[in-house]
């Protein structure tokens, strides 16, 4: 496939829009009930252990930061959306000072260069609008030789397809630019990290999702809880015809991926695991 070129995205209130978008619904329910295993997978891939100082970028409710601390590391969970930070604090184990929660921007990380032994992001930094700037910040705050490890949905997988569908229903239509799932394309991320990381390795894996009984169950759960989906439906307002069409497409997507089980269905959602070492400044 021909790779799109990342380019700066004008602010024009986009940060406020992102904060509000991810505060919609209940992302904590998605992290807790649908993708809880992804954080530990990323922590293991990054080789995080006792004594490491870790930054989880676009941390959401701490899906990767909390398991990082469980290894004996100290961590900072950084996210643009205060509501997610507050939810994460409620869900985190009590009584420890090993985990710090910070409201901050993946494109302007509020730490000095070379601060962290490992910088990670679990389906988080992929949603920063300025891909090149976010990539540069991930590498900047990692010490020379330290690890940057990412877990992102692929453009060809279930979530990539879901975003492609939702994009067609966004009001107003978004500007043409590389979408978040491009962070799940090996060559695209390699181009972002060129000159920033060395020894880049990646592999594609799947998360088997067993949370939903049938396709409409998936659709209603995401329609209620997943900020980007909530935002698209709200943008459609009273357009019942387009809302119903989006309902059909999302249920149809789940039906295409579904395998029947004794409890209902399961789906494989593809993601990319990627790891490299920071070159330093």
Per-residue pLDDT tens over the stretch 81-108: 999 999 999 888 765 668 999 999 999 9
- Say what the pLDDT of residue 96 is: 61
The answer, yes or no, to whether residue 10 has pLDDT greater than 70, is no
The model's pLDDT over 106-137, given as tens digits with 9 standing for 90+, comes to: 999 999 999 999 999 999 999 999 999 999 99
HEC letters along the chain: CCCCCCCCCCCCCHHHHHHHHHHCCCHHHHHHHCCCCHHHHHHHHHCCCCCCEEEEECCCCCCCHHHHHHCCCEEEEEECCHHHHHHHHHHCCCCCCCEEEEECECCECCCCCCCEEEEEEECCHHHCCCHHHHHHHHHHCEEEEEEEEEEEECCCCHHHHHHHHHHCCCCCCCCCCCCHHHHHCHHHHHHHCCCCEEEEEEEEEEEEECCCCCHHHHHHHHHHHCHHHHHHHHHHCCCHHHHHHHHHHHHHHHHHHCEEECCEEEEEEEEEEEEEEECCC
- Say what the pLDDT of residue 92 is: 84
Whole-prediction pTM value?
Answer: 0.93
Residue with the bigger pLDDT between 171 and 37: it is 37
Domains annotated on the chain, with CATH: 14-153+180-208+270-278 (3.40.50.150)
pLDDT interval class at 13 (50, 70, 90): confident
Q: With pLDDT > 70 as the criterion, what percentage of the chain qualifies?
A: 92
Q: In the predicted model, what is the mean pLDDT of the chain?
A: 92
- Say what the pLDDT of residue 87 is: 94
pLDDT interval class at 210 (50, 70, 90): very high
- Say what the pLDDT of residue 1 is: 46
The dihedral sign for the CA sequence 250, 255, 258, 260? positive
- Say what the pLDDT of residue 178 is: 75
């Amino acid at each position: 496939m021909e790779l799109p070129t990342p380019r700066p995205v004008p602010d024009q209130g986009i940060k406020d829009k992102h904060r509000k978008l991810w505060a919609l619904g209940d992302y904590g329910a998605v992290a807790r009930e649908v993708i809880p295993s992804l954080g530990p997978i990323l922590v293991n891939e990054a080789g995080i252990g006792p004594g490491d100082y870790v930054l989880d970028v676009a941390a959401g409710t701490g899906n990767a930061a909390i398991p990082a601390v469980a290894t004996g590391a100290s961590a900072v969970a950084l996210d643009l959306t205060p509501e997610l930070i507050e939810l994460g604090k409620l869900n985190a184990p009590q009584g420890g000072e090993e985990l710090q929660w910070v409201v901050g921007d993946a494109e302007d990380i509020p730490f000095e260069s070379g601060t962290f032994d490992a910088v990670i992001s679990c389906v988080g930094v992929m949603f920063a609008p300025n891909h090149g700037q976010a990539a540069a910040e991930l590498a900047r705050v990692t010490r020379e030789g330290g690890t940057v490890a990412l877990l992102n949905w692929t453009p060809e997988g279930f979530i990539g397809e879901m975003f492609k569908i939702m994009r067609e229903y966004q009001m107003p239509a978004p500007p043409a630019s590389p979408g978040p799932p491009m962070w799940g394309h090996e060559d695209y991320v390699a181009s972002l990290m060129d000159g920033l990381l060395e020894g880049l390795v990646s592999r594609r894996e799947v998360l088997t999702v067993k949370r939903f009984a049938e396709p409409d169950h998936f659709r209603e759960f995401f329609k209620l809880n997943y900020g980007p989906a909530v935002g698209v439906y709200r943008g459609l307002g009273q357009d019942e015809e387009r809302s119903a069409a989006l309902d059909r497409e999302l249920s149809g997507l789940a039906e295409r991926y579904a395998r029947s089980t004794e409890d209902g269905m399961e789906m494989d959602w593809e993601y990319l695991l990627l790891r490299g070492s920071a070159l330093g400044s």
